[in-house]
Structure 1
């Protein structure tokens, strides 16, 4: 299936596996790439040395294009960008877009720049800065999320920018891909759906917890880090909702662990925490900086009692653990069948009214 995304990036299918921290490692990224999609390696939770090793391992598993997700505010952001250029990585994705000078540096090296946004104004800004493609993430998505549903955000962004748009938030099958293409998007991006694949390294007991959830199994809470964050309903999250933020000492301890893992400075981490909201106490700011360690506890260590599990609403529609190949080929096959069948089943009469 060829779209503006596949032509730009050089993959076979317009399906993107997002750069989920602690989840999107070499095995999942390579599995996605080998199946013809675009896998994105999550580097925000890695040290520079870990990123070097992860890129090398991914390349040992696949010769196909893949991407790396970066933090534009990391102290070593320039060094990481130089690494991507040296390794000839195809795509650089960002949750928060870098300024125009870094975008230009990546583009001049032939790397596709792909920021994620949750509002039309943000899409317009990154497009003006020179981004090649944008992921428009609707409110159904897991993790940090906005308030506008995908069905409204995606066509709004498509109308607002002149670059390819990738639809994210609530997508999991070929029906979603067909719908996204009809909105004018060039493909779909999925996080939770790829988390629940055989190549995902998330512990089996945690995957089962996801699969057991219904459509009401997630909650958007500000108790994790001060901004809307869609996560699984767990005992920890319910406790946070009832009693507020964890103690300052516990948050500081976790934040210190993430500082060591990520290479970020205390100034950067606290600035990141503070940026989550204007009216936040010190404990809330530290909690925001500490969030990556809460995610690690759940997604890596399998500690649902002490971890947070980011999840999209789509979790309520999932009941299996396919391989990346089974997932992507199934999505593309179903979408192709739908797009081929619909013109034959629905025709417009002379007045323009659609009739079955």
Structure 2
């Protein structure tokens, strides 16, 4: 079996988690140039906007990168056309099945890596011809499943014969080693990049991440079946109040309308959605992407070297 780094064409077995509105060309270029797989978000882009972002990435790096597709979006067929036309080497997917698009991707030589929340879905993706899966635990930021990384990864690794990439709760070298111990062959990380120098978000967003501690996040949308993990703020408190009171989907939607853009672009971290994982409390400084990636794997080597198991 090929290693994750061989599959991705990267130095490190690391995928940068796609973060809606955030994972734009600046971050993707930095991650790919540092030896990981930068992943470009397609959320909110039309066909030509995505093409323009892809070309910006190509202008900034000659290393492999990916595009993420949130498959519930209405314009996925158009975006698939652009990905194939622009010869993007890797696609990651979420929020649906890539089944309708797999023949076109395979014919074009595009490697597909779905993000999955369960063993059942992992098996389906392996059967479709995915080259690997990202098993994402509920510790992650943004839209989440219902199983923790520690419980999910080994069960997925036992169930399929393609590489498993662990995501959720990985914030340092100890997390990297733990992912491998659970049966993963690579990692996907997102929250660790939120305060990176190259991440294109408002400074107030980065400061909210830096100020976070281990209990800083909350999960909304549980009742309506669309759980999302964000940092607690005034808007989240209001949402949880309404959700617990039995508010309708429309009421909840009206509260969160454009909330991600408010936080990312406007820096309104009280009325916007600051999506982040539970390891936000481990992000304590602004650093270049290169330092973050090298730090993860240098720390992992030190952890392995010094690991002592006694009985």
Q: Same fold (TM over 0.5)?
A: yes
Corresponding residue number in structure 2 for 1:198: 197
Corresponding residue number in structure 2 for 1:62: 61
Contact 1:115 1:131 in 2 (8 A): yes
In the alignment, is residue 317 of structure 1 matched against residue 278 of structure 2? no
- In the TM superposition, what is the alpha-carbon distance from 1:109 to its structure 2 partner? 1.2
In 2, Cα distance between equivalents of 1:240 and 1:282: 11
Secondary structure in 2 aligned to 1:230?
strand
Corresponding residue number in structure 1 for 2:120: 121
Corresponding residue number in structure 2 for 1:241: 240
Contact 1:68 1:91 in 2 (8 A): yes
In the alignment, is residue 295 of structure 1 matched against residue 295 of structure 2? no
In 2, Cα distance between equivalents of 1:150 and 1:327: 21
Corresponding residue number in structure 2 for 1:252: none
Quickly say closer, same or farther: Cα 1:120–1:226, change in 2 above 3 A: closer
Contact 1:21 1:43 in 2 (8 A): yes
In 2, Cα distance between equivalents of 1:205 and 1:228: 24
Please list the CA deviations of residues 172-221 of structure 1 after superposition, one character each: whole Å capped at 9, or x if unmatched.
11111111112221111111111121111111122111111110110112
In 1, Cα distance between equivalents of 2:75 and 2:227: 28
- In the TM superposition, what is the alpha-carbon distance from 1:280 to its structure 2 partner? 8.4
Match runs of 1:24-39 below 5 Å: 24-39=23-38
Contact 2:224 2:249 in 1 (8 A): no
Contact 2:204 2:267 in 1 (8 A): yes
- In the TM superposition, what is the alpha-carbon distance from 1:316 to its structure 2 partner? 1.3
Contact 1:199 1:324 in 2 (8 A): yes
In 2, Cα distance between equivalents of 1:92 and 1:103: 11
Match runs of 1:266-281 below 5 Å: 281=248
Secondary structure in 2 aligned to 1:24?
coil
In 1, Cα distance between equivalents of 2:107 and 2:96: 17
Secondary structure in 1 aligned to 2:258?
helix
Secondary structure in 1 aligned to 2:291?
helix
**Regions of 4+ moved over 6 Å:** none
Quickly say closer, same or farther: Cα 1:58–1:292, change in 2 above 3 A: farther
Q: Which of the numbers 278, 298, 302 marks the counterpart of 1:333?
A: 298
- In the TM superposition, what is the alpha-carbon distance from 1:292 to its structure 2 partner? 6.8
Contact 1:178 1:339 in 2 (8 A): yes
Quickly say closer, same or farther: Cα 1:129–1:337, change in 2 above 3 A: same
Corresponding residue number in structure 1 for 2:180: 181
Contact 2:157 2:184 in 1 (8 A): yes
Asked which structure has the greater CA Rg, the reply is 1
Please list the CA deviations of residues 104-138 of structure 1 after superposition, one character each: whole Å capped at 9, or x if unmatched.
22122111101111111111121122211111111
- Gapped regions of structure 2 (runs ≥ 5): none
Task: With the length of structure 2 as denominator, give the TM-score of the two structures.
Answer: 0.92
- In the TM superposition, what is the alpha-carbon distance from 1:67 to its structure 2 partner? 0.2
Would you say how many aligned residue pairs link Structure 1 and Structure 2? 310
In 2, Cα distance between equivalents of 1:292 and 1:39: 28
- Gapped regions of structure 1 (runs ≥ 5): 246-278, 347-353
In 1, Cα distance between equivalents of 2:197 and 2:273: 21
Deviates more, 1:314-323 or 1:93-102: 93-102
Contact 1:140 1:149 in 2 (8 A): yes
Contact 1:45 1:292 in 2 (8 A): no
Task: With the length of structure 1 as denominator, give the TM-score of the two structures.
Answer: 0.81
Please list the CA deviations of residues 247-302 of structure 1 after superposition, one character each: whole Å capped at 9, or x if unmatched.
xxxxxxxxxxxxxxxxxxxxxxxxxxxxxxxx984515x818x8572111111211
Contact 2:208 2:269 in 1 (8 A): no
